[in-house]
Amino acid sequence: MNPKPDCILIRVFHLHLKFAYPNGFWKGLCETCLDSAQKIYLEVNKNKPSCRKGKCALCESKTGVFPAELEFPDFSKGIVKKDVNLCYRCLKGVDEAYIRHKKEMIEQEHAHH
């Protein structure tokens, strides 16, 4: 039996760590947050909503960001939903991780049948 991971890994490019990690590094989002961020990515690509200046919650870059709602674990409250900002580059990483995750899920389903 294969244990299901808690987080789906997303490649993030941090401006201040670009020399230490030129290919980016990995941050994890739960499946619910990945789905939520994926919807933002699709909306951004379809409607091209205007972004505002802010700090990205994943890579911490101060750039154009889009609002998203993500869930964070809180030991006293369980799960807390927070409004965060995500930059386009991280949203693109979310899209890649989303596609990879869905493909892995389909492959696992076929392997069990």
- How far apart CA 66 and CA 42 sit, in angstroms, is 12
Q: Could you tell me the pTM of the whole model? A: 0.80
Q: Which residues, other chains included, contact 66 with Cβ-Cβ below 8 Å and sequence gap of 6+?
A: 40, 44, 49, 51, 85, 86, 87, 88, 91
With respect to residue 85, please indicate whether it lies within any of the assigned structural domains: yes
With respect to residue 97, please indicate whether it lies within any of the assigned structural domains: yes
With respect to residue 105, please indicate whether it lies within any of the assigned structural domains: yes
Question: What would the two tokens of residue 31 be?
Answer: 């499946």
pLDDT digits over 52-61, tens only? 889 999 999 8
- How far apart CA 77 and CA 52 sit, in angstroms, is 31
With respect to residue 1, please indicate whether it lies within any of the assigned structural domains: no
pLDDT category at 86 given cuts 50, 70, 90 is: very high
pLDDT digits over 3-15, tens only? 445 788 888 887 7
pLDDT digits over 28-52, tens only? 888 888 888 999 999 888 776 667 8
With respect to residue 87, please indicate whether it lies within any of the assigned structural domains: yes
What's the pLDDT score for residue 113? 60
With respect to residue 2, please indicate whether it lies within any of the assigned structural domains: no
Find the mean pLDDT for residues 85-104: 93
Residue recorded with tokens 């869905």:
102
Find the mean pLDDT for residues 81-93: 92
Domain span at 66: 8-112
With respect to residue 3, please indicate whether it lies within any of the assigned structural domains: no
Find the mean pLDDT for residues 5-28: 80
Mean pLDDT of the chain: 83
- How far apart CA 99 and CA 111 sit, in angstroms, is 18
Give the count of domains, the chain. Answer: 1
